[in-house]
């Protein structure tokens, strides 16, 4: 049978078209910016996806993990920073979606204000629901924030009365904003308007070291903003400490370790948790901890706010498994677990996970990345990434986060 050459050409063109279409869809799925006011699983990558083959810094030759590091000292220094010049305008912004976002939002805002020689207005805190609004001081220590930035950027505690929304140009910026981006996209608007409002979106949700070395000044400003500005206000700090102390006491009594697991059922049901393996459910976490040899009496804290029957499979093997509802002091529940307390709950989860003996992220994303950064600075490097392939008797060191084992986290550029 004779084949028409035109049919061959048409077939090749058709195949090429489908390949190009597939690449376009893939790029759109991978690179699409994420709205700063949507709470969802952000990453399209599986846990610790990496091709690096560097030395494993946190595991002994037999596969067991090394003991926690001592508390690291900060490498950043204010001494290299010149006093900011007279303010040329204001930079305002809001904190949204919980502390893992707050850290990045503060860092970007400080970097922008420093570059523009602008005055930074302390942000408010906004939840995902309309009217869900709090003062910065409801959660964080205002005086610590202001004093930490003294000599870096000028900060005012309240928005000046003369600064109305009409005076503000709202700019949507990517997290981990660069100097080139500021110069090309932010500075021209600032020079024209004089005042700007920032809204950060998150095309990147990992916290790996930047590939290109940053200037000493920029690195110092970024590290200070990320790790040296946000501290909990006393009452919230007290709640976190009481939960951590109780869970550690429960574990010590049985000579075991206190494990915090970022496991939120509402996140497991979202689209971001489908497909490649970057989320783990209660049964999978129970099996993982069991295979790694965690004692049945280990205290386990879940970031899930209220108990759900689907968590019973985890509690069956680890009876000392708690949510905030089950472990928080009674006199604090009304304020911190009320219907309008979602921001408090997120902050409590973040800091409990940052201070546990062991942290297990059941969900990939920015929460995991920024909890890892907090833990690295304080020497709490026991961060275990779940794996279906774990077998009974597996060495815990084999499942350490690459953020720690390969020192890929940007915190290692900030701490010595």
Instruction: Report the SS3 class of residue 368.
Output: helix
State pTM to two decimals.
Answer: 0.84
Separation in Å, CA 94 to CA 97, 127, 176, 205, 229 = 10, 10, 16, 19, 15
Angle at 274 between CA 269 and CA 279, to 5 degrees: 75
Q: Which of 108, 102, 229, 103 is nearest to 172 (CA)?
A: 108
Residue 43 reports pLDDT greater than 50: no
Range of 3-7, 219-223, 318-322 with top mean pLDDT: 318-322
User: What does the alpha-carbon distance between residue 38 and residue 199 come to, in Å, rounded to a whole number?
Assistant: 12
Range of 17-26, 130-139, 293-302 with top mean pLDDT: 293-302
Sign of CA dihedral 230, 235, 240, 244: positive
- Assess contact for 63 and 405: CB atoms under 8 A: no
Q: Which of 171, 176, 123 is nearest to 343 (CA)?
A: 123
Question: Which pLDDT band, with edges at 50, 70 and 90, does 276 fall under?
Answer: low
Token pair, residue 75, equals 């490498």
Per-residue pLDDT at 263: 96
In this structure, what DSSP letter does residue 388 have? T
Mean pLDDT of 269-276: 73
Rg value, the chain, Cα: 23
Per-residue pLDDT at 15: 45
Per-residue pLDDT at 87: 67
Mean pLDDT of 274-283: 82
Per-residue pLDDT at 26: 37
Per-residue pLDDT at 10: 52
Residue 3 reports pLDDT greater than 60: no
User: What does the alpha-carbon distance between residue 304 and residue 322 come to, in Å, rounded to a whole number?
Assistant: 9
Listed in sequence order, the residues at least 6 apart from 258 whose beta carbon sits closer than 8 Å to its beta carbon are 244, 247, 248, 250, 251, 298, 299, 301, 356, 357, 358
| Cα of 50 vs its chain's centroid, Å | 18
Q: Where are the alpha helices (DSSP H) in 254-390?
A: 265-268, 282-291, 312-317, 324-327, 330-336, 342-355, 366-377
Listed in sequence order, the residues at least 6 apart from 98 whose beta carbon sits closer than 8 Å to its beta carbon are 39, 343, 346, 347, 350, 367
Mean pLDDT of 250-262: 90
* Domains of the chain (ranges, CATH numbers): 78-227 (no CATH), 234-413 (3.40.50)
Residue 25 reports pLDDT greater than 70: no
Q: What are the tens digits of pLDDT across the range 74-89?
A: 887 765 556 656 667 9
For strand 154-156 and strand 169-174, is the pairing parallel, antiparallel, or unpaired?
unpaired
Mean of the per-residue pLDDT values of the chain: 83
Sign of CA dihedral 198, 112, 176, 341: negative
95 φ/ψ angles, rounded to the nearest 5 degrees: -95, 135
User: What does the alpha-carbon distance between residue 351 and residue 34 come to, in Å, rounded to a whole number?
Assistant: 24
Q: Which of 343, 354, 360, 340 is nearest to 411 (CA)?
A: 354
Question: Which pLDDT band, with edges at 50, 70 and 90, does 347 fall under?
Answer: very high
């Amino acid at each position: 049978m004779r084949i028409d050459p035109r049919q061959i050409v048409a077939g090749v063109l058709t195949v090429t078209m489908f390949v190009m279409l597939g690449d376009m869809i893939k790029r759109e799925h991978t690179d699409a910016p994420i709205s700063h006011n949507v709470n969802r699983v952000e990453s399209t990558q599986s846990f610790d996806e990496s091709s690096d083959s560097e030395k494993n810094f946190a595991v002994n030759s037999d596969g067991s993990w090394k003991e926690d590091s001592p508390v690291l000292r900060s490498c950043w220094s204010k001494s290299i920073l010149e006093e900011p010049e007279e303010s040329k305008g204001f930079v305002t912004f809001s904190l949204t979606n919980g502390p893992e976002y707050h850290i990045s939002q503060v860092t970007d805002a400080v970097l922008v204000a420093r570059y523009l020689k602008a005055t930074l207005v302390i942000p408010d805190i906004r939840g995902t629901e309309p009217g869900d609004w709090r003062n910065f001081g409801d959660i964080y220590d205002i005086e610590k924030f202001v004093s930490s930035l003294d000599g870096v950027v000028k900060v005012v505690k309240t928005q000046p009365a003369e600064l109305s929304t009409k005076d503000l140009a709202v700019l949507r910026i990517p997290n981990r904003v660069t100097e080139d981006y500021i110069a090309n996209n932010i500075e021209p608007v600032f020079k024209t308007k004089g005042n700007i409002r920032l809204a950060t979106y998150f095309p990147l949700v990992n916290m790996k070291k930047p590939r290109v070395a940053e200037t000493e000044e920029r690195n110092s400003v970024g590290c200070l903003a990320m790790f040296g500005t946000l501290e909990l206000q006393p009452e919230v700090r007290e709640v976190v400490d009481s939960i951590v102390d109780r869970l550690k006491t429960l574990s010590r009594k049985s000579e075991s370790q206190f494990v915090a697991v970022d496991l939120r059922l509402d996140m497991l049901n979202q689209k971001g948790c489908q497909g490649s393996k970057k989320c783990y459910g209660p049964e999978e976490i129970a099996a993982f901890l069991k295979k790694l040899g965690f004692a049945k009496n280990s205290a386990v804290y879940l970031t899930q706010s209220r108990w759900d029957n689907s968590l019973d499979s985890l509690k069956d093997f680890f009876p000392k498994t708690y949510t905030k509802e089950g472990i928080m002091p009674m006199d604090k529940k009304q304020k911190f677990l009320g219907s309008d307390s979602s921001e408090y709950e997120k902050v409590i989860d973040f800091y409990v996970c940052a201070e546990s003996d062991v942290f297990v992220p059941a969900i990939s994303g920015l929460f995991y990345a920024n909890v890892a950064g907090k833990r690295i600075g304080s020497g709490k490097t026991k961060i275990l990434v779940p794996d279906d392939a774990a077998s009974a008797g597996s060495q815990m060191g084999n499942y350490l986060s690459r953020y720690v084992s390969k020192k890929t986290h940007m915190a290692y550029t900030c701490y010595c």
